[in-house]
Amino acid sequence: MITFAAVYLAVLNLATFVIFGFDKAAAADRRSRVPERALLALAALGGSPGALLARPVFRHKTRKQPFSAWLTLIVFLQAATVAALLAMAWRGR
């Protein structure tokens, strides 16, 4: 189970990073873009580290305030969930 989760998160974060780069290239070339909703969904599904890394690397979506606020909320909720799960596991020992 842990191996599956690790592979899932690795693939999802790589895909999220690549899709942010694709969207930045599309923006520069004035091509069809990836919807912000899709980028946030990738982050919410576990790709938030990839999204956070891609933003400064590609200089993409760094000044979009509603997007930044949603991404920050997603990261906060994920961190709180992980902390709660770890606390529950620690108590169970």
Q: What is the pLDDT along the chain (93 residues), one digit of tens a residue?
A: 889 999 999 999 999 999 999 999 999 999 999 999 999 999 999 999 999 999 999 999 888 889 999 999 999 999 999 999 999 999 977
Q: What integer pLDDT is reported at residue 12 of this predicted model?
A: 98
Burial of residue 60 (CB within 10 Å: 0-12, 13-18, 19+) is buried
34 three-class SS: coil
Q: Which residues contact 14 (CB under 8 A, 6 or more apart)?
A: 50
Q: What integer pLDDT is reported at residue 2 of this predicted model?
A: 85
Q: What integer pLDDT is reported at residue 42 of this predicted model?
A: 98
Q: What integer pLDDT is reported at residue 62 of this predicted model?
A: 85
| Encoded tokens for 93 | 């020992």
Q: Give the residue from 42, 34, 38, 37 showing the smallest Cα distance to 16.
A: 42
